[in-house]
Structure 1
Amino acid sequence: MTASGVESEGPEGVRLQKVLAAAGVASRRVSEQLIAAGRVRVNGQVVTELGSRIDPTTDLVDVDGVAVQLDESKRYVILNKPRGVVSSMRDERGRPDLREYAKEWTERLFNVGRLDADTSGLLVLTNDGDLAHVLSHPSFGVTKVYIAKVEGRVTAQTIARLTRGITLEDGPIAADKARLLSASDAGGGSLVELTLHSGRNRIVRRMMAEVGHPVVELVRRQFGPLHLGSLPVGGVRELTTVERGALLTLARRENGPQHDDASREADDSPSAASQEISP
C-alpha cells in the first residue's frame, strides 16, 4: 500500500484513473472521461492516454489546474481559535494551548504561523511541512484578511492612509487592501477590514494604533484561499476536497524556481513553520 492509500500495481505504477477515483476526484468512469478530454496533468504535462500509470508517492497530478491530494497521510485542519488560547501545541507556562483542538487526529499536527493570544480566528493545523512553509514564509506573500474592531470613528482619509502606507518603528508598511465596514457616531468604535501579506509581529494592532485607532478586538477571517465561514469560535474541522486542492495548488505554484533561494534559506520544519510572528 502506498502513502496515497492506493495499492501498488507493480514497478510500472498505478493506472491514473484508479488514482483519481481513490483520491475522490470522480468515479473511475468519469475520471477516464476527464483524462480523455485532456483535463488531467501529471507533473505539468497533459495526459490523455487511458492506460497511463503513475507513482502516487512522487508524481504530481492536477485536474483543470487544481492540485489533487494523493498522500492520505497528510492532514489539513482549520480552527477558529478563541481568544485566550496561545498558538502553541504545548505551552510551557501552562496556558490554554492548541492540544485540545488537535486531539481528534492521531497524526502529530502543528500550527501554521501564529495568532496572538488576544486574537481569534482562522488558524491552520497540519502535518505537511512543505505546505506550512509556503503559507508561513514571508517570501511567498500569502494574504490574510482581518476584521478589527477599533476605537474611534475611522474616516475615509484614514483608510486611504493605511493603503498608501505608514511608517512604524521597524519600517514602512501598507495594507494590500483596507475598507471601512462600519463606524459609530455614538462612541461605539469602528469595524475595519484589512488585507495584508506581511507577517510582522502584531502588525495589525500596530498599524491601527499608529493611525489613532487602537484595536479592541481582532479576528482573522481568511488565510490564503481559506475562509473562516460559519465555523464557530472553538470549532475545528478538516478541510474539504476543494479547500485542500486550493491549498496544494497554491503550494505547487509558489514552490517554483523563483523561490528556490528563499526555500533553501528558510527552515521549513514543523517547529519553524509554527513560529511565524503574530498579527
Structure 2
Amino acid sequence: MSETGVRLQKVLANAGVASRRVAEQLIVEGRVRVDGQVVTELGTRVDPETAVIDVDGTAVQLDQTKRYIMLNKPTGVVSSMKDDRGRPDLRRFTKEWTERLYNVGRLDAETSGLLVLTNDGELAHILAHPSFGVTKVYIAKVEGRVTPQTIARLTKGVELEDGPIAADKARLLTASAEGGGSLVELTLHSGRNRIVRRMMAAVGHPVVELVRRQFGPLHLGTLPAGRTRELTKVERGALLTLARQATSDVPPNAAEDDPRSRPDQETT
C-alpha cells in the first residue's frame, strides 16, 4: 500500500473496472485485493505502477499502454512481423495500432486460427512457453476414419523423432463412413515444432486442414479469417490472472528445462 499514491477506487475506475461509486462498493464488500491482501478501506491509496490488484479473483490491467489483439490468422500467412523470404506476414494486420506489436508463439503458414498480438513481453513469454502449461485447442481435418482406439493413442502418447508426446485431451468430432476424412479436436500445451501435424501423421491420419480455436482462456468465436479485434476487459483479466497463477506455480528456471520446447517454434 502507499500513503502517497492514488485512491484505490479511482485506480479501479481508470482501469475500466467500474464507475468510482461502484468501485467503492466493491471495496467495502471485500471483493478487491491489493498485492494479495483484501482491502476494505475506502481511503486506501496505491501506486498504480507497482500494485497488483484483482477483483473477485480476476486480475485488473492497470497499464493502459499495453495492447492485446486477437487475430484469426488465415492460411498462407507466416507468423512473423517481417518475413525475410518476402512471404505474406503479420504486418498487414497491425496497421491500425501505433504500438509495436508482435505475435505470441507461432502458427505455421498452412494453419489458420487464433493468434495473439501484443506489446506485453512478459505476458507473451508466459503464454507461449510450454513450461507454463497454457493449453491450446485445435480442430484438425484428417485423412481416413479415426477410431476411438486412435483417440486413446493420442492421449496415451505417441513416439516421434524428437521424443514421445501425448495430447492433454483428444476428442473425435466426426468420422465419415465413406472415406471423407475425420474431424479431431486436440488440446495441447506443447510448443514443439508442427506437433499436431506430426502426431496425426504418426497415428496414420495426415492433417488436411488445421485451425486453432482456443488459446488459454481465449476463444476464437465468430471472428472471421483475416480479421482482428482488441481483447475485452474480461479477456484481458483472464489472461493476466492466468499469467499470475502460472508464474507462482512454476519453479524458477523451469522454462529452461526442456530444450526441445521453444516458444518461437511453429507449433502446429
Q: Same fold (TM over 0.5)?
A: yes
Query: Which of 139, 145, 149 lines up with 1:153 in the alignment?
Result: 145
- Number of paired residues? 264
Other-structure match for 1:47: 39
Other-structure match for 1:4: none
What is the identity, as a one-letter code, of the residue corresponding to 2:70?
Answer: I
Quote how far apart the aligned CAs of 1:256 are. Answer: 1.8
For 1:75-86, list aligned pairs within 5 A: 75-86=67-78
Q: Does residue 221 in structure 1 map to residue 213 in structure 2? A: yes
Contact 2:125/2:263 (<8 A) preserved: no
Structure 1 pair 265–274 and aligned structure 2 pair: CA distance change class (3 A): closer
Contact 2:104/2:116 (<8 A) preserved: yes
Secondary structure of the 2:30 match is coil
Secondary structure of the 1:256 match is helix
2:133, 2:18 → 1: CA distance?
Answer: 33
Other-structure match for 2:254: 262
Other-structure match for 2:267: 278
Structure 1 pair 263–198 and aligned structure 2 pair: CA distance change class (3 A): closer
TM-score w.r.t. structure 1 length?
0.91
Other-structure match for 1:130: 122
Structure 1 pair 187–131 and aligned structure 2 pair: CA distance change class (3 A): same
Secondary structure of the 1:255 match is helix
Other-structure match for 1:35: 27
Structure 1 pair 119–264 and aligned structure 2 pair: CA distance change class (3 A): closer
Other-structure match for 2:182: 190
2:144, 2:256 → 1: CA distance?
Answer: 45
For 1:8-157, list aligned pairs within 5 A: 12-157=4-149
Please give the per-residue CA displacement for 1:22-57, whole angstroms capped at 9, x wherever unaligned. Answer: 111111111001001110000111111100000101
TM-score w.r.t. structure 2 length?
0.95
Structure 1 pair 53–191 and aligned structure 2 pair: CA distance change class (3 A): same
Identical pairs, percent? 76
Quote how far apart the aligned CAs of 1:278 are. Answer: 2.1
Structure 1 pair 219–258 and aligned structure 2 pair: CA distance change class (3 A): closer
Other-structure match for 1:269: none
Query: Which of 224, 231, 236 lines up with 2:228 in the alignment?
Result: 236
What is the identity, as a one-letter code, of the residue corresponding to 1:205?
Answer: R
The runs of at least 4 consecutive aligned structure 1 residues that moved more than 4 Å come to 263-266
Q: Does residue 252 in structure 1 map to residue 244 in structure 2? A: yes
Query: Which of 170, 187, 197 lines up with 2:162 in the alignment?
Result: 170
1:162, 1:261 → 2: CA distance?
Answer: 29
1:157, 1:257 → 2: CA distance?
Answer: 34
CA RMSD of aligned residues (A): 1.7
Contact 1:67/1:246 (<8 A) preserved: yes
1:44, 1:134 → 2: CA distance?
Answer: 20
